[in-house]
């Protein structure tokens, strides 16, 4: 039941989908074509007439006027059946009906479809028609008084009275009856108005000759009948060129035939030559437009067809790379007349083919640097070739790609029956090889692509390799910096190649540990780096220190990872106004701005201000504050022991006049600079103070204490 159902569907398909089954009427034959992609390869035909069913499968089919073949691209089976075929119903040489079975095998079961096609040729038959099919020669004559008489006579007498005599190269063989001839593969038929003779090529009694170097096969039969005192004789000759076509390596498939194949076949006056494809002639202007060329010289007719002419087929082929070949089913018609103005129409079918021609694909690097992505176009892919996978760094990516990979592929189709693929691979993908060239300060990105393509429908794979490479100008990163009241903020938005450099503060690489140790606030992820550097943390440089304010400068260095040479730096200087602070410089200087009003209750007026050494006075004072800046070891500073703490004090009186004894002073402010002992290089040198780091500063008010750093 299922089988019946499937067959029913299939049959319906055949008729509904005109793509599957074609039945066409041509000028001397039926064309039945079946698309194998729908039916499978197990397919054959049977001719049907009132006498029985005749499989069109064996050599016998040639002498009966059938020609079957399988064609590629798309895969199909084609049956050409002569209108004068053995099992065709012929009504007055005008209406021909071909009844046939299409036998297909579905899952081991044969299914037979009875089909029928009726055709009437659009042209009247010429007095003589010679057809050179792929597998047989056919000649029919008619339009002659003699044929008519023959017909009449055959009516009044038994056909068995007819005898046939074959001529082999001038030699006459023994006459035989038509049925004897039939057993030897010579088919004669007497229709209403025509005499038909057909045989396959290579019969023992045919003869081969050469005309202008072209092999020609000739079959010559004389049909005769004796009716009392009348003897009727008809000469039936078919001559067909047997040469293959050739390829001229300049894009033309060529075929040539002699103008006169045999004196008894071709008339002496040639009228015209028409060309066509696939058994269908085209008008002269169409032939010209398609580039078909007919040239005559030295009694030869030379035909040139562009390899890719319309009407041909092409097929891809893998053989250590991609190749292709073209096939063209040439159909040629040659009209000529003899002295008696009787027309002969010669029809030849010849399949021309190119050799295997290389079919290069092309790859184009369409990368736009700014997109930071490789864009590679693979083009000129023929329509019977498909991209199956892409291999990058030994990893296989079947097409279409899953969307979890960063690669993308897009297919584009062109009107010229080619298509192409655009592959995109981001520069930063691990599949891309990166290499930094120091000399050029360029980053090289490279990707090796191995495309796997296959030719359909055989699924024969081949590979296409391409390497694309770019050099990207890489500059060291540059931070954005912003001043704030309490420090400086630096920001870096990472570029993909910023990992190439090392970021340092002075000579120390910036790490989370360093930041913690120095009191920087750092946040870092794959997108950006943010560094906030509070004022008075390590790394600042100060200048123009006055009571009104000062400038603080902080610098971030970008170094080469290997050589540590500085490639760039970001320096930011910001103005700061801080009420009170102590700076303990690495070169042994204490700079302090102290708010003295904190030590003077009720806003008394200061008269005089100095350090322990009363001769060390402030650099600047105003109503409330004083600025001192002095070498640590001077102005009476005292030295601690565990850490090295230099301490000094600001004394000031609230009355006019110099103080006799600073210790008696009511008002004092104490400042300290504390250095790590280990970081000090010349503690006892008289000439120079040098510390690795700045000291830690403190201001102690006698009444209030405020810490500074
Ligand atoms: C990935 O593919 C799935 C299934 O094809 C689809 O549903 C989903 O939207 C795709 N995701 C993206 C980001 O394209
Ligand atoms: C087909 O057309 C495309 C797009 O116009 C073109 O790039 C390509 O070269 C053509 N290929 C052939 C084989 O003509
Ligand atoms: C390309 O990929 C195919 C399939 O993996 C492999 O057989 C072939 O060797 C590759 N070609 C090259 C040059 O890597
Ligand atoms: C920031 O984070 C990235 C990883 O996201 C890391 O490679 C880099 O070293 C970090 N930079 C700093 C300065 O910590």
450 CA → ligand 3 middle, Å = 6
Q: For residue 635, count other CB atoms closer than 10 A to its CB.
A: 20
Return the closest-CA partner of residue 461 out of 406, 399, 407: 399
| Cα 167 to Cα 218: distance, rounded to the nearest angstrom | 10
In the chain the first and final C-alpha atoms are separated, in Å, by 98
Whether the per-residue pLDDT at 665 is higher than 90: the answer is no
The residue ranges of DSSP E strands in 618-678, in sequence order, are: 620-621, 625-631, 638-639, 644-653, 667-675
Q: What is the pLDDT of residue 228?
A: 65
pLDDT-derived band at 657, boundaries 50, 70, 90: very low
Residue range 155-175: average pLDDT? 75
Give the highest mean pLDDT range of 1-15, 268-282, 345-359, 655-669. Answer: 345-359
Q: Looking at ligand 3, which residue's alpha carbon is closest to its atom 2?
A: 450
14 assigned to some structural domain: no
- Residue 599 pLDDT > 70: no
Q: Which single residue is written with the structure tokens 């004897």?
A: 180
Q: Is 527 in the pocket of ligand 4 (CB under 6 A)?
A: no
Run of H or E residues at 4: helix 2-16
pLDDT at 685 over 70: no
Q: Is the peptide bond before 419 cis (omega within 30 degrees of 0)?
A: no
- Confirm or reject: Cβ of 417 under 6 Å from ligand 2: no
Does residue 360 form part of some domain? no
- DSSP structure class, residue 701: E
Judged against a pLDDT cut of 60, whether residue 158 lies above it is answered with no
Report the percent of the chain where pLDDT is more than 90: 41
Name the range with the highest mean pLDDT among 22-26, 341-345, 649-653. 22-26
Say if residues 167 and 173 touch (Cβ distance below 8 Å). yes
- More confidently predicted of 322 and 439: 322
Chosen domain end from 353, 381, 408:
353
Q: How far is CA 131 from the centre of its chain?
A: 47
Query: Which range among 296-305, 528-537, 662-671 shows the weakest confidence by mean pLDDT?
Result: 662-671
Tell me the C-alpha distance between 618 and 621, whole Å. 7
Q: Are 170 and 156 in contact (CB under 8 A)?
A: no
CATH at residue 86? 2.60.40
- Residue 709: inside a domain, yes or no? no
Q: Candidates 314, 385, 413, 414: which one to mutate for ligand 2, based on the most atoms within 8 Å of Cβ?
A: 414
The verdict on 598 and 697 lying in the same domain is yes
What is the maximum span of the chain, computed from C-alpha positions, in angstroms?
Answer: 178
The secondary structure of residue 125, as a DSSP letter, is P
For the Cβ of 510 lying below 6 angstroms from any atom of ligand 4, the answer is yes
Tell me: do 109 and 165 sit in the same domain: no
- Closest residue (by CA) to atom 5 of ligand 2? 414
| Pocket lining: 505 vs ligand 4, CB cutoff 6 Å | no
Q: What is the predicted pLDDT for the residue at 359? A: 92
What is the arithmetic mean of pLDDT over 313-319?
90
* Per-residue pLDDT at 626 exceeds 80: yes
Q: What is the pLDDT of residue 495?
A: 80
Q: Is 526 in the pocket of ligand 4 (CB under 6 A)?
A: yes
343 C-alpha to ligand 1 centroid (Å): 71
d(CA 331, CA 317) in angstroms, rounded, equals 26
Q: What's the whole-number mean pLDDT along residues 515-523? A: 92
Q: How many helices (H) and strands (E) does the chain have?
A: 7, 57
pLDDT of residue 706: 40
Residue 503: CB within 6 Å of ligand 4? yes
List the residue whose alpha carbon is closest to atom 14 of ligand 2: 416
Per-residue pLDDT for 46 more than 60?
Answer: yes
Is residue 8 a part of any domain in this protein?
Answer: no
The minimum-distance atom of ligand 3 relative to the CA of 448 is 14
Task: Give mean pLDDT, residues 390-406.
Answer: 87
Q: Are residues 71 and 94 in the same domain?
A: yes
The yes-or-no verdict on residue 367 having pLDDT over 80 is yes
pLDDT number for residue 19: 65
Q: Is the pLDDT of residue 266 over 90?
A: no
Question: How would you classify the pairing of strands 343-353 and 128-132?
Answer: parallel
pLDDT of 704 strictly over 80: no
Domain that holds residue 272: 128-353
| Conformational region of residue 390, where left means phi above 0, alpha means psi within -120 to 50, and beta covers everything else | beta
531 lines ligand 4 (CB under 6 A): no
Q: How far is CA 394 from CA 36, 402, 464, 501, in A?
A: 38, 17, 14, 30
Q: Please, which pLDDT band fits residue 597 given cuts at 50, 70 and 90?
A: confident
Considering every ligand atom, which ligand is closest to the CA of 461?
3
CA 43 to CA 72: how far, in whole Å?
15
The CATH number of whichever domain residue 696 belongs to comes to: 2.60.40.3210
Greater confidence, 240 or 639?
A: 240
| Predicted local confidence at residue 218, as pLDDT | 93
Over its C-alpha atoms, the chain yields an Rg (Å, rounded) of 52
Residue 210 has pLDDT above 50, yes or no: yes
Nearest Cα to Cα of residue 220 among 178, 179, 172, 187: 172
Categorise residue 380: left if φ over 0, alpha if ψ from -120 to 50, beta otherwise. left
Tell me how many degrees the CA angle 300-302-305 measures, rounded to the nearest 5. Answer: 170
- Per residue in 185-206, pLDDT tens? 999 988 888 889 999 999 988 9
Rounded to whole angstroms, the Cα distance separating 511 from 529 reads: 11
Nearest to 119 by CA among 93, 154, 137, 150: 93
Q: How far is the CA of 404 from the centre of ligand 1 (A)?
A: 8
pLDDT in tens, 69-112: 888 767 788 999 999 999 999 998 899 999 999 888 777 778 88
Give the per-residue pLDDT at 29: 94
Residues 485 and 464 placed together within one structural domain of the fold? no
Is 166 found in the same domain as 305? yes
Confidence of residue 403 (pLDDT cuts 50, 70, 90): confident
Q: How far is the CA of 315 from the centre of ligand 2 (A)?
A: 17
Cα-to-centroid distance, 350 and ligand 2 (Å): 30
Mean per-residue pLDDT, 445-452: 94
Is residue 11 in some structural domain?
A: no
pLDDT band at 579 (very low <50, low <70, confident <90, very high): confident
- Point out the ligand 4 atom lying closest to the alpha carbon of residue 510: 13
Judge contact between 167 and 222, C-beta under 8 A. yes
Last residue of one domain, picked from the residues 576, 594, 624: 576
Q: From the CA of 420, which ligand is nearest?
A: 2
Strand extents, DSSP E, 207-292:
207-211, 214-227, 230-241, 246-247, 252-258, 269-277, 280-281
> Residue 174, class by beta-carbon neighbours within 10 Å (0-12 exposed, 13-18 middle, 19+ buried)?
exposed
Mutate to test the pocket of ligand 3, among 463, 464, 465, 466 (most ligand atoms within 8 A of CB): 463
Q: Which has more confidence, 507 or 668?
A: 507
* Residue owning the nearest CA to atom 7 of ligand 4: 499
User: Residue 180's Cα: distance from chain center in Å?
Assistant: 64
pLDDT at 88: 94
CB 165 within 8 A of CB 172: yes
Say if residue 635's pLDDT is above 90.
no
Looking at the fold, whether 629 and 682 belong to one and the same domain comes out as yes
- Tell whether 426 is covered by a domain: yes
Sheet of 528-534, strands arranged across:
480-483, 487-493, 528-534, 521-524
Is 418 a pocket residue for ligand 2 (Cβ < 6 Å)? yes
CB 247 within 8 Å of CB 355: yes
Same domain, 395 and 332: no
Q: Please tell me the distance between residue 501's alpha carbon and the centre of ligand 4 in angstroms.
A: 11
Which one of 251, 364, 380 would you pick to mutate in the ligand 2 pocket, going by the greatest count of ligand atoms within 8 A of its CB? 380
SS3 at position 536? coil
- HSE, side-chain direction, 13 A CA sphere, residue 174: 3
Q: Which two tokens stand for residue 614?
A: 């009363």
Give mean pLDDT, residues 395-401. Answer: 88
Residue 179 is predicted with a pLDDT of 86
Sign of torsion over alpha carbons 51, 56, 57, 59: positive
CA distance 481 to 492: 9
pLDDT of residue 492 exceeding 70, the answer is yes
Lowest mean pLDDT among 23-27, 258-262, 531-535: 258-262
Task: Examine the domain organization and report whether 570 and 589 are in the same domain.
Answer: no
- Tell me the CA–centroid distance for residue 452 and ligand 1, in Å: 24
Give the closest ligand to the alpha carbon of residue 405: 1
Residue that is written with structure tokens 């009275």 in the block: 161
**Cβ of 450 below 6 Å from ligand 3:** yes
Examine residue 3 and state whether it is found in any structural domain, yes or no: no
**What does the mean pLDDT of the chain come to?**
84
Burial of 264 (0-12, 13-18, 19+ CB in 10 A): middle
Q: Is 393 in the same domain as 349?
A: no
Number of domains in the chain: 5
- Among residues 328, 353, 378, the one where a domain terminates is 353
Residues 142 and 31 in one domain: no
347 occurs within a structural domain:
yes
Question: Which ligand 4 atom sits closest to the C-alpha of 529?
Answer: 1
**Three-state SS letters, 669-691:** EEEEEEECHHHECCCCCCCCCCE
Query: How many CB atoms lie under 10 A from the CB of residue 571?
Result: 12
Tell me, yes or no, whether 437 and 489 share the same domain.
no
Q: Which residue has the higher pLDDT, 243 or 614?
A: 243
- The ligand minimizing its distance to the Cα of 394 is 3
Q: Which residues pair with 396 in a beta bridge?
A: 391
CA atoms within 13 A on the CB side of 462: 18
Q: What mean pLDDT comes out for the span 446-464?
A: 92
Same domain? 347 vs 435: no
pLDDT at 596: 81
Q: State both tokens at 407.
A: 């690669």
Give the residue, by CA position, lying nearest to ligand 2 atom 9: 380
pLDDT at 658: 46
Smallest-distance ligand from the CA of 379: 2
Ligand nearest to the CA of 464: 3
């Amino acid at each position: 039941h299922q089988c019946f159902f499937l067959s029913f569907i299939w049959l319906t398909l055949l008729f509904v989908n005109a793509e599957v089954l074609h039945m066409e009427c041509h000028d001397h034959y039926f064309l039945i074509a079946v698309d194998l992609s729908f039916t499978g390869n197990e397919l054959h035909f049977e001719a049907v007439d009132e006498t029985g069913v005749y499989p069109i499968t064996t050599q016998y089919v040639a002498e009966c006027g059938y020609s079957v073949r399988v064609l590629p691209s798309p895969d199909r089976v084609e049956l050409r059946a002569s209108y004068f075929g053995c099992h065709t119903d012929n009504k007055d040489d005008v209406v021909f009906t071909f009844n046939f079975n299409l036998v297909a095998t579905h899952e081991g079961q044969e299914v037979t479809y009875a089909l029928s096609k009726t055709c009437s040729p659009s042209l009247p038959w010429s007095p003589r028609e010679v057809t050179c099919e792929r597998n047989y020669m056919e000649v029919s004559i008619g339009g002659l008084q003699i044929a008519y008489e023959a017909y009449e006579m055959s009516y009044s007498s038994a056909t068995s009275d007819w005898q046939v005599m074959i001529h082999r190269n001038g030699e006459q063989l023994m006459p035989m009856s038509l049925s004897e001839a039939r057993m030897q593969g010579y088919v004669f038929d007497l229709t209403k108005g025509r005499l038909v003779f057909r045989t396959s090529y290579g019969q023992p009694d045919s003869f081969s000759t050469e005309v202008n170097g072209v092999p020609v096969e000739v079959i010559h039969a004389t049909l005769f009948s004796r009716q009392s005192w009348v003897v009727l004789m008809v000469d039936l000759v078919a001559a067909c060129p047997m040469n293959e076509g050739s390829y001229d390596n300049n894009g033309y498939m060529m075929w040539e035939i002699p103008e006169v194949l045999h004196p008894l076949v071709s008339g002496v006056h040639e009228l015209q030559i028409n060309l066509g494809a696939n058994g269908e002639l085209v008008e002269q202007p169409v032939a010209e437009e398609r580039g078909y060329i007919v040239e005559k010289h030295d009694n030869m007719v030379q035909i040139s067809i562009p390899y890719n002419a319309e009407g041909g087929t092409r097929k891809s082929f893998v053989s250590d790379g991609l190749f292709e070949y073209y096939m063209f089913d040439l159909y040629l018609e040659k009209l000529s007349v003899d002295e008696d103005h009787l027309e002969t129409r010669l029809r030849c079918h010849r399949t021309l083919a190119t050799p295997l021609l290389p079919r290069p694909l092309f790859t184009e690097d369409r990368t736009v640097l700014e997109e930071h992505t490789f864009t590679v176009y693979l083009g000129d892919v023929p329509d019977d070739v498909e991209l199956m996978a892409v291999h990058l760094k030994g990893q296989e990516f079947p097409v279409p790609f899953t969307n979890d990979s960063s690669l993308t592929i897009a297919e584009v189709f062109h009107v010229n029956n080619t298509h192409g693929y655009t592959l995109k691979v981001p520069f930063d993908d691990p599949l891309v090889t990166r290499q930094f060239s120091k000399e050029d300060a360029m980053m090289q990105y490279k990707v090796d692509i191995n495309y796997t393509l296959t030719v359909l429908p055989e699924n024969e794979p081949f590979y296409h390799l391409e390497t694309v490479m770019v050099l990207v100008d890489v500059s060291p990163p540059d931070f954005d910096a912003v001043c704030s009241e309490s420090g400086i903020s630096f920001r870096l938005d990472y570029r993909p190649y910023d990992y190439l450099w090392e970021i340092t503060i002075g000579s120390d690489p910036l790490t989370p540990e360093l930041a913690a140790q120095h009191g920087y606030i750092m946040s870092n992820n794959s997108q950006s780096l943010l560094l906030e550097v509070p004022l008075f943390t390590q790394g600042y440089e100060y200048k123009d220190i006055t009571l009104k304010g000062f400038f603080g400068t902080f610098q971030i260095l970008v170094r080469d990872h290997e050589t540590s040479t500085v490639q760039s730096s970001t320096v930011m200087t910001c103005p700061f106004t801080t009420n009170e602070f102590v700076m303990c410089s690495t070169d042994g200087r204490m700079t302090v701005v102290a708010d003295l009003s904190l030590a003077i209750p009720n806003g008394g007026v200061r008269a005089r201000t100095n350090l322990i050494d009363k001769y060390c006075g402030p650099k600047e004072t105003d109503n409330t504050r004083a600025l001192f800046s002095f070498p640590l070891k001077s102005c009476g500073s005292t030295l601690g022991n565990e850490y090295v703490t230099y301490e000094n004090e600001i004394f000031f009186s609230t009355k006019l006049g110099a103080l006799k004894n600073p210790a008696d002073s009511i008002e004092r402010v104490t400042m300290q600079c504390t250095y790590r002992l280990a970081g000090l290089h010349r503690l006892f040198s008289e000439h120079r103070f040098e510390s690795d780091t700045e000291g830690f500063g403190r201001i102690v008010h006698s009444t209030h204490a405020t810490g500074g750093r």
